């Protein structure tokens, strides 16, 4: 009997404002085996947003990193670049990526065993309220809602699991259970 463990890549994706960052923060806080990748972005930091929410960089630095092959995946999302630097998790840890749908597709293409958890809001109305509640200005809210219409069918098609983030604690619980189950599948017996 062997207990070899193939580490997991968990991709959390879904439309803006659905609650991905909030969920991932809670998942990582309760599960020390998870290692959260920090993305790069060229967008401005939001008021009140943590300094280390992203590696905030210039377009030049981002493009230089593309040229030197430093990203696992990257995309242009509503006029800004976002990208996952080549992951380097500590040994034995599982990597978590919190990214939009185009990036999730790229990761699935590179790594068919990546676990894609696609998160949806209970309704478009609730998504709008969450984006506003977070302080996104109205034009940005509208853009993100329109983008969500494009993202949803693609996300559903490539997802391993689709989760509706209604009650936050239940969502985190459900995702923890899925991760535990998928870990068992990856432990050779
Ligand atoms: P995303 O990372 O998907 O863009 P955020 O994590 O920034 O979304 O969440 C957007 C807003 O919605 C935040 O203000 C967050 O506190 C709130 N939120 C997240 N999950 C829930 C939930 N289940 N119920 C109510 N509000 C939520
Ligand atoms: P926000 O501006 O709301 O922080 O992020 C906008 C979108 O970009 C969200 O859907 C977020 O998940 C996604 N995102 C964050 N980091 C990355 C990344 O490294 N790669 C990709 N493809 N998307 C990302």
Distance of CA 189 from the midpoint of ligand 1 (Å): 39
Distance of CA 3 from the midpoint of ligand 1 (Å): 37
Q: Per-residue pLDDT tens for 157-180?
A: 999 999 999 999 999 999 999 999
- Asked if 84 contacts 38 with a C-beta cutoff of 8 angstroms, the reply is no
The CATH code of domain 9-37+92-188 reads 3.40.50.300
Task: Look up the pTM and report it.
Answer: 0.96
Query: Percent of the chain beyond pLDDT 70?
Result: 97
> pLDDT band at residue 72, thresholds of 50, 70 and 90?
very high
Distance of CA 125 from the midpoint of ligand 2 (Å): 21
Residues enclosing ligand 2, CB less than 6 A?
16, 20, 39, 43, 73, 75, 77, 82-84, 98-100, 102-103
> pLDDT band at residue 189, thresholds of 50, 70 and 90?
very low
Quote the pLDDT of residue 24. Answer: 98
Is the pLDDT assigned to residue 107 strictly greater than 80? yes
Quote the pLDDT of residue 67. Answer: 98
Helix segments in the chain, DSSP class H:
20-30, 59-67, 101-110, 124-133, 138-158, 168-185
User: What average pLDDT score do residues 43-71 get?
Assistant: 95
Is the pLDDT assigned to residue 71 strictly greater than 80? yes
Quote the pLDDT of residue 18. Answer: 96
> pLDDT band at residue 2, thresholds of 50, 70 and 90?
very low
Cα separation, 137 vs 4, whole angstroms? 49
Cα 4 from chain centre: 27
Q: Per-residue pLDDT tens for 23-34?
A: 999 999 999 999
């Amino acid at each position: 009997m062997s207990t070899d463990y193939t580490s997991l890549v968990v991709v959390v994706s879904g439309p803006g404002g659905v609650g991905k960052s909030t969920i991932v923060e809670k998942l990582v806080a309760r599960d020390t085996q998870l290692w959260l990748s920090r993305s790069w972005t060229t967008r401005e930091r939001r008021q009140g947003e943590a300094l280390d929410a992203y590696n905030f960089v210039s377009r030049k630095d981002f493009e230089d990193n593309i040229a030197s092959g430093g990203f696992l995946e990257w995309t242009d999302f509503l006029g800004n670049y976002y990208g996952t630097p080549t992951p380097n998790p500590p040994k034995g840890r599982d990597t978590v990526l919190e990214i939009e749908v185009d990036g999730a597709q790229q990761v699935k293409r590179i790594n068919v065993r990546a676990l894609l958890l696609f998160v949806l809001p209970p309704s478009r109305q609730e998504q709008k309220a969450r984006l506003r509640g977070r302080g996104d200005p109205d034009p940005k809210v509208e853009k993100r809602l329109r983008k969500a219409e494009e993202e949803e069918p693609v996300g559903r098609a490539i997802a391993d699991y689709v989760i509706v983030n209604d009650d936050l604690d239940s969502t985190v619980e459900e995702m923890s259970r899925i991760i535990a189950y998928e870990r068992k599948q990856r432990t050779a017996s």
